Structure 1
Amino acid sequence: MKINTKIIAHRGSKGTRPENTLISFQTAIDDGADGLETDVHFSKDHQLIIMHDETVDRTTNGSGRIVDKNLAEIKHLDAGVRFSSEFKGTTVPTLQEVVELLIKDNFTGIFNLELKTNKIQYPGIEKAVFDYFASIDYPFQLIYSSFNARSLEILNRLDPKLAGAKLFKTAAKQAKTLKKDHLIADFHPDIRWLKRHPFFAPAQNLRPWTVNSTEDMQYCFERNLAAIITDYPARAVQIRSEMREGVE
């Protein structure tokens, strides 16, 4: 079976490592992921912090909002111990640290950076991210995504050639409008919504999340979608390989 669907590791290998940490990203790369997905926030001192939630409570031993903490405070947090004592002492990375890891690994796959501006606006974060990538050379394919259409519009204005994608659970109409206006290239829908609306968009424009079950992986591979975003990249790589070889 011809399957060109890419496998993008959601917050790294989130299912097997502490999410959005360097060890999570390295594991995903080692397991053969074609891409990485992660999330960025602004700290109090305008540092680009890699974490999913707006607060540090769920994934670290600390509490409070990222926007209320400076980088030094965030670096004192343990981002591994809540996942497992095996990863005690794991730190919260900055965007620069993640990019440096990818450069060191000569990672040439997809790097999908989600701007987490749907709950906290973080004025200026789009320009800060854009300026950072404009200042360096990197080997990977950079894709921006967000639930916040305004962030995608700002990034598109900074560089109309940037690859952007609209995340959504149900707001398909807004996503289609952004595509029609050439503000984004692709769609990142919830897999549950996509299965209810299978003809929403061409396969080459779809990268659904979070595709974790064997059934959902097979569903996406059979339709040859552009990519899946999954917590279990190693499992996805294995299932794709088996389907390509016709193994039952």
Structure 2
Amino acid sequence: MSKKLVLGVGIAFSVLISPFSQVFADDLTGGERKQVDNVAHRGAAGYAPENTIAGFDLAVDMKADYIEIDVQKSKDGELVVIHDTTVDRTTDGTGKVGDLTLKQLKSLDAGSWKDEKFAGEPIPTFEEILDRYYGKVGILIELKAPQLYPGIEEQVAEALKKRNLDKPQNEKIIIQSFNFKSMKKMNKLLPEVPIGVLTSNHTDTTTEALQEFSTYADWFNPNYGNVSKELVNQVHSLDMQIGSWTVRSQEAADLLFEMEVDAIISDYPDYVDPRN
């Protein structure tokens, strides 16, 4: 069954049950809120250093449905998990990620900047994250600035295929990027893995733009400032799902619940899951 067909069935089902959902819209329970995917942005980044094992472990403990990770390449071609294209902000080092070898990146302290109790947290590799977390939590993989790293799409695809994750169960692997050309390529390399497009640009929310995205993407993931009920309905009408970022307040999370998005990407998983 194709990705689009699976999503279409889900949307059709949601239409059928929507009258019942409306009855309870003003009185959400924990169970109802769990229908929205809780995505821990760079791990539980509000509480632990982003893109580290400490942050991802905490996200799992906080019952997140997915962890969101950022993937780049070292100078010697290894896939590493870090957000910025330089190491300056989140480590005790300096320089561009792509100018440092894996050994150099691994020698950096990626935890102390957040709190001394996280001193010594290393930058993890992509494969370390896959091996540690797949089966425990979903993984939302962002290719960060893929235009800087020729061949990163093939390398990510190979790492997933090596682990038989090119056909993920329950869509627990998703790949996304702000680089639309890269996502078109990933859709061809991994046709059974859901693809997401990221944007903070309002011009990407037009009917024409959304129709283009729907030809290769399964998720449309805008900044929460661009989300409206009309946009959510448009995205759903094109058999895509919508996940919004980056939520850093309970008010923002509650607003997105009201908009009926499919996923909330937050530094604070407890804002999304009332069980915490």
The TM-score bracket by the shorter chain reads: 0.7 to 0.9
Cα RMSD over matched residues?
A: 2.1
- Is 1:72 the equivalent of 2:100? no
Distance in 2, matches of 1:156 and 1:35, equals 20
Question: TM-score when scaled to structure 2?
Answer: 0.79
Q: Of residues 98, 111, 114 in structure 1, which corresponds to 2:139?
A: 111
Distance in 2, matches of 1:219 and 1:60, equals 34
For 2:68, the equivalent position in structure 1 comes to 37
Counterpart AA for 2:149:
Y
For 2:56, the equivalent position in structure 1 comes to 25
For 1:60, the equivalent position in structure 2 comes to 91
In structure 2, relative to structure 1, the CA distance for the partners of 1:172 and 1:121 (3 Å cut) is farther
Q: Of residues 225, 240, 244 in structure 2, which corresponds to 1:192?
A: 225
Question: What is the deviation of 1:67?
Answer: 0.4
- Is 1:221 the equivalent of 2:254? no
**Would you say the 8 A contact 2:198–2:221 is kept in 1?**
yes
**Would you say the 8 A contact 2:210–2:235 is kept in 1?**
no
Which of structure 1's runs of 4+ aligned residues deviate more than 6 A?
none
Counterpart AA for 1:176:
L
Question: TM-score when scaled to structure 1?
Answer: 0.88
Give 3-state SS (helix, strand or coil) of 2:265's partner.
strand
Aligned length in residues: 235
Equivalent residues in 2 for 1:5-20, closer than 5 Å: 5-20=36-51
Rg (Cα) greater in structure:
2
Question: What is the deviation of 1:99?
Answer: 1.3
Render the CA deviation track for 1:79-136: whole Å, top value 9, x for unaligned.
0011111111110000111112114xx31x4210000126x43100000000110011
Distance in 1, matches of 2:272 and 2:188, equals 35
Q: Of residues 120, 127, 132 in structure 1, which corresponds to 2:159?
A: 132
Query: Which consecutive unaligned segments of at least 5 residues does structure 2 have?
Result: 1-27
Percent of counterpart pairs with the same letter?
33
Question: What is the deviation of 1:195?
Answer: 4.1
Give 3-state SS (helix, strand or coil) of 1:207's partner.
strand
Higher helix share: 2
